[in-house]
Amino acid sequence: MTSTAQAPGAREAHPEHLGHVIFIAAAAAMGGFLFGYDSAVINGAVEAIRSKYDIGSATLAQVIAIALIGCAVGAATAGRIADRIGRIRCMQIAAVLFTASAVGSALPFALWDLAFWRVIGGFAIGMASVIGPAYIAEVAPAAYRGRLGSFQQAAIVIGIAISQLVNWAILNAAGGDQRGKLLGLEAWQVMLGVMVVPAVLYGLLSFAIPESPRYLIEAGKDARAREVLEEVEGKEIDLDARVEEIRLAMYREEKPSFKDLLGGTFFFKPIVWVGIGLSVFQQFVGINVAFYYSATLWQSVGVDPTDSFLYSFTTSIINIIGTVIAMIFVDRVGRKPLAIIGSVGMVIGLALEAWAFSYDLVDGKLPATQGWVALIAAHVFVLFFALSWGVVVWVFLGEMFPNRIRAAALGVAASAQWIANWAITASFPSLADWSLSGTYIIYTVFAALSIPFVLKFVKETKGKALEEMG
């Protein structure tokens, strides 16, 4: 997109009712909350699903990972849907799909039926992962865009944490048994069904926030766009000039195509491969094992089921703390230093886990020393991931590509991330059956390889204009 002159007062605009603007961003970020909640809630049902349907690790992995197929499709189609019917309608569709997925997953009549509803939920996750950040960026005044944009990532990690806390509470209410009876259902069904509450709330909030001014202008609704701009940017700006500024920027935008990404020695342009590499490394360190399978992991080394859910919750709290640290330092320290610091910390945490899990179980449990090392190392790993790669990769992907190919290249990199996520999620149960220690050695190797990758191929984007990229 070609840069344009700012309308008078636009860059400095400070809305009179900042609280209302924060409410709008927070309401949109509820999609991120559901993204995190739905992604992690399955953690509480893994062993119960294995038991109820009497399935092996490979089949179980596919049921858990199949939601990621829906994620990829939802992310790929959300932009076009939003351009056709608007951002708000897109949020409402996602809310309906989240609600349907929660009900269907809680009341499956067969394993394939559960898998189907997992895919539907995944489609909603994919939509939410695209629409939330795009809407916030289009609605937020420039003076607050960075801080309001961070709401999405904060909502995701809070959603993960709340899902673990709710799972723990439900498990306690069911006497510590994932298949214990509660409200006429098995506990794991209640865990999956509770997501109806935030899903309905998301849908209701979507009726309380305005449509994106950018979409309204594109749809020829200039009068309504002016009202929204006044609502979020204040009365001091020149509304007519702002509308024309947005219209001119849209007119000058070039729609990137897939062929624009091609070139270089290996099919894609080198910068696109760097984006793909960042996405793949982010997943291949095994971070989602900590959120999809952590309860199962702790139970496999002898931890009581109720305690395993508590540990999953504390890991999620560490994830939130790390994310806040990243939000504070990403613009101060820079993207590359944070990524390298995170990689070093992850190597240490993962290597210690691999060491601890290499010991034989005694009476179904790890020896005391190794058990404590494994628990502490797991939290160290999540902390260093959250304060670095969890946030930095998305910042890099939003900044590193040249204007002409940014949208298309980001789409390819995001798709690579979903595929890598699927590969790790689908392979973990079988790998863990083979060797839990060996599995963590593999993750450690990828964390170590990420260091030279960042040093050699990734350029710092801190303090650079988007027009300087590429």
230-243 burial by CB neighbour count: b if 16+ within 10 A, else e?
A: bbbbbeebebeebb
Whole-number Å distance between alpha carbons of 389 and 323: 10
The two tokens of residue 260 are: 């624009």
- Locate 296 and state its tokens: 């199962």
CA distance 57 to 153: 31
CB atoms within 10 A of CB 7: 20
How far the first Cα of the chain sits from its last, in Å, is 14
pLDDT digits (tens, 9 = 90+) for 356-402: 999 888 877 888 898 889 889 999 999 999 999 988 887 787 777 77
| Cα–Cα dist 40/463, whole Å | 34
Phi/psi class of residue 181: alpha, beta or left (left: φ > 0; alpha: ψ in -120 to 50)? beta
Q: If we measure between CA atoms, which residue out of 388, 411, 281 comes closest to residue 336?
A: 388
Asked if residue 214 lies in contact with residue 228, where contact means CB atoms within 8 angstroms, the answer is: no
Return the minimum-mean-pLDDT range out of 52-56, 311-315, 372-376, 465-469: 465-469
Q: Which helix or strand (DSSP H or E) is residue 34 part of?
A: helix 18-41
- Residue spans of beta strands (DSSP E) within 306-436: none
- 8 A C-beta contact, residue 142 and residue 16: no
The whole-number average pLDDT for the span 56-76 is 85
CA dihedral 433, 291, 129, 22 (to 10 degrees): 180
Spell out the SS3 assignment of 235-267: CCCCHHHHHHHHHHHHHHCCCCCHHHHECCCCC
SS3 220: coil
Q: How far apart are CA 132 and CA 146, in angstroms?
A: 14
**What does the pLDDT read at residue 2?**
35
Q: Inform me whether the pLDDT recorded for 3 exceeds 70.
A: no
Q: Look up tokens 């700012």; give the residue.
A: 6
The percent of residues above 90 in pLDDT, for the chain, comes to 35
| Banded model confidence at residue 9, pLDDT cuts 50, 70, 90 | very low
* β-pair partners for 181: 186
Residue 2: both structure tokens together: 């070609």
- Token pair, residue 39, equals 């992604």
Cβ atoms of 95 and 73 within 8 Å: the answer is no
Return d(Cα 395, Cα 257) in angstroms, integer: 22
Residue 13 backbone class (left: φ over 0; alpha: ψ -120 to 50; beta: rest) = beta
List, for residues 248-257, the tens digit of each pLDDT value: 776 766 665 6
* DSSP code of residue 362: B
- Look at residue 1 and tell me whether its pLDDT is greater than 90: no
The radius of gyration of the chain's CA atoms, rounded to the nearest angstrom, is 23
Q: Which single residue is written with the structure tokens 């890991």?
A: 315
Mean per-residue pLDDT of the chain: 84
Residue 317 has pLDDT above 50, yes or no: yes
- The encoded tokens of residue 248 equal 């001119």
Those residues whose C-beta lies under 8 Å from the C-beta of residue 184, and which sit 6 or more positions away, are: none
Beta carbons within 10 angstroms of residue 333's beta carbon: 13
Distances (CA, A) of 17 to 97, 133, 235, 239, 444: 32, 21, 11, 17, 48
Two tokens, residue 449: 């390889």
With beta carbons less than 8 A apart as the criterion, state whether 36 and 412 touch: no
Whole-structure pTM value: 0.78
Establish how many alpha carbons lie within 13 A of residue 320's alpha carbon, considering only the half-sphere containing its beta carbon.
18
In this prediction, residues 129-155 reach a mean pLDDT of 78
**Cα–Cα distance for residue pair 62/179, rounded to 1 Å:** 21
